[in-house]
Chain A
Amino acid sequence: MNDRRSELEAAPWSGRTRRYDLIKEGVAALVVVTIATVALSTLFGSPDDKQITFKEWAVAAPADFYATTVQELAGSSGTGGYGAPYNTASDGVNLGPLHLAKLMGVTHPVDTVNDFVITPLTTVVNSGPVADALKQWQSSDSKTQAAWATNYDNALTKANQDATKVPSGNYGPVPQLSGGLLSMAQAGSLDGALLSQGNYFQSDNTKQTLFMGDGSYFNDQSTASNLQGSTWGMMNETGRYPGQAWLWLYSFWYQIPPFNNGDSHPFGANADAWIMVIMGALSLGLIIMPLIPGVRSLPYKIKIHRLVWKNYYQEENL
């Protein structure tokens, strides 16, 4: 019976027909949508909150920028400890025994010390103390460099990021290097240097974005704009504009336990990976929905189709 029904439903329609001008309908739709789009564009425009530059960050929150630079030198920043695809500092998040990021390897290597601090400093003419600090750093071995940076990072953290309250210690040239990068950023030279890394052509903003994300300033701005993941940020837009509302289901999982508790294991701490898997499965489910028992029967049980074909059902006395 089902095969016969399917055959009938697949066959060319032999019942009553009506005149229908597809091209006219298409043109009318295009005209209406264009007019509506022009109207909304004229009335509301579109969101365009200005990008944050390193100059803006360094001028508005110099202590935060300075402390972040120290963390980059010490390898204690978010990027420094991230793991794949940027470095091997950690295993990254997991799906049970699967560490997929680690499995794919370091495909976008980021060396926070050289890429974020040392190389940019070498692209400008530095003042005497900074130039001397750069020479001292470059002529030292990595063990000594790490010890200096870690000592200063710990001392600065204890001093609540107030460099003036850090007691003297074995910090090597770290304070001068961090101060030099702060001056460079305040002068507006760091944005380009981070992007180009000493080259001419470059279109990969990975290093800039990671460095900026390691500080608090960038995060604070996004919190103020209601863009954090914990507040449905994935689907929000700056200002009072609609964002990517179609990402509501993706955002939804970040609002509920166990995914909204970053400390809870195994799901909260690995929420990014689990939610990607859930959304992948749900997307596949949407694509093959007609094959899923139960779900495919819903239109037969909940008869919304009778509203769609109301006239036809009345005319045919169905």
Chain B
Amino acid sequence: MSIMQEKEMWTSKLRKSWQKTLPVEKLLPDTQPAYVASWIYLFGVATLASLGVIIASGIVLAFEGASWYHYSNVGHFINSMHFWSVQFFFVFMVVHLWGKFWMAAWRGRRLLTWITGAVAFVASIATAFTGYLIQTNFDSQWISYEAKDGFNSVGIGSRFNVTNFGQMILLHVAFLPIVLGVITMIHVLMVRAKGVVPPIDAFNAELGERK
């Protein structure tokens, strides 16, 4: 195969674009800018760590079934881990989000990083919501009964039926985790590709503005 032919291949184009945008040195750097030195930076990774615990405990629950935790002590413990890791996940994510807002982290052509993060937040709410609907207890009975009115009121209920346990469990364990996982991965890769946003006044001197 000639070099010319290789250049025209989609595969080689993708590889070159990938290597240019996100070389492994950017993906797994061992240094960070000096300004990356604040407790606020921990909340992004803490969110990901919580997501890891959610997925691990969720996989166990998925194998054992939605009602397992009602009659098994081990099941109840795993369900508790799923429950508390979700609580941690949201606390960490909200602090991370507020932190990024006050850092105006969308600067320097990082708009899509913000957008993927915000979409991940909304997708997380939808994923957690469907989880509350499949607890197979009184809470899930009531939530589905109440929530149906909101979704029905704008026509969404015609396709997203919160009282349909089968639909909700499939969305919760298959569709929404895939959506959330893909968005989160894109978000993290964008952070690595673009680098951590510099301080707001970092370039005042270069731009001739007062420090």
Asked if A37 and B70 make an inter-chain contact with CB atoms under 8 angstroms apart, the answer reads no
Within 8 A of A (CB), among B33-80: 33-38, 40, 42, 45-46, 48-50, 52-53, 69-70, 76-77, 79-80
Q: Residues of A within 8 Å of B, CB-based: how many?
A: 107
Whether B136 is near chain A, meaning CB under 8 Å from some CB there, is yes
Whether B2 is near chain A, meaning CB under 8 Å from some CB there, is no
Per DSSP, chain B at the interface is: helix
Q: Residues of B within 8 Å of A, CB-based: how many?
A: 101
Segment of A147-155, A173-181, A225-233 in the binding face: A225-233
Given that A38-B81, A50-B137, A277-B154 are known contacts, is A33 also in contact with B49, CB under 8 Å in the complex? yes
Q: Give B67's nearest chain A residue, CB to CB.
A: A51
Asked if A100 and B137 make an inter-chain contact with CB atoms under 8 angstroms apart, the answer reads no
Q: Give B114's nearest chain A residue, CB to CB.
A: A290
Asked if B144 and A209 make an inter-chain contact with CB atoms under 8 angstroms apart, the answer reads yes
Asked if B101 and A299 make an inter-chain contact with CB atoms under 8 angstroms apart, the answer reads yes
Q: Pick the most buried of B83, B106, B137, B146: most chain A CB atoms within 10 A of its CB.
A: B83
Whether A49 is near chain B, meaning CB under 8 Å from some CB there, is yes
Q: How far in angstroms is the closest Cβ of chain B from A34?
A: 6
Q: Which of B45, B136, B198, B207 contacts A51 (CB 8 A)?
A: B136
Q: Which of A29, A33, A244 contacts B129 (CB 8 A)?
A: A244
Asked if B38 and A33 make an inter-chain contact with CB atoms under 8 angstroms apart, the answer reads no
Asked if A315 and B165 make an inter-chain contact with CB atoms under 8 angstroms apart, the answer reads no
Whether B204 is near chain A, meaning CB under 8 Å from some CB there, is yes
Interface string of A17-41 (1 = CB under 8 A from B): 1111111011001101110111011
Q: Give B156's nearest chain A residue, CB to CB.
A: A276
Q: How far is the CA of A21 from the CA of B41 in the complex (A)?
A: 13
Whether A141 is near chain B, meaning CB under 8 Å from some CB there, is no
Q: Which of B115, B147, B206 contacts A288 (CB 8 A)?
A: B115
Whether A125 is near chain B, meaning CB under 8 Å from some CB there, is no
Segment of A111-119, A127-135, A305-313 in the binding face: A305-313
User: Which A residues form the contact surface with B (CB < 8 A)?
Assistant: 1, 4-6, 8-13, 15-23, 25-26, 29-30, 32-34, 36-38, 40-42, 44-52, 84-85, 92-93, 95, 100-101, 103-105, 107-108, 203-206, 209-210, 212-213, 218, 221-222, 225, 227, 229, 233-234, 237-238, 241-242, 244-247, 270, 272-273, 275-277, 283, 286-291, 296, 298-300, 302, 304-305, 308-313, 315-318
The 4 closest A-B pairs by CB, nearest first: A203-B166, A9-B108, A41-B80, A100-B155
- Can you report 29 A-B residue pairs in the complex whose CB atoms are below 8 A from each other? A5-B207, A6-B109, A8-B198, A8-B207, A9-B203, A18-B37, A20-B31, A33-B46, A104-B157, A108-B164, A203-B164, A203-B169, A204-B167, A209-B163, A227-B139, A227-B142, A244-B132, A273-B153, A289-B101, A289-B114, A290-B111, A296-B104, A299-B103, A305-B102, A305-B103, A305-B199, A309-B35, A310-B38, A312-B199
In addition to A17-B32, A17-B33, 14 A-B residue pairs with Cβ atoms within 8 Å of each other are A8-B206, A13-B198, A37-B88, A38-B81, A41-B83, A46-B84, A48-B76, A48-B137, A100-B155, A209-B141, A209-B144, A221-B142, A283-B122, A312-B199
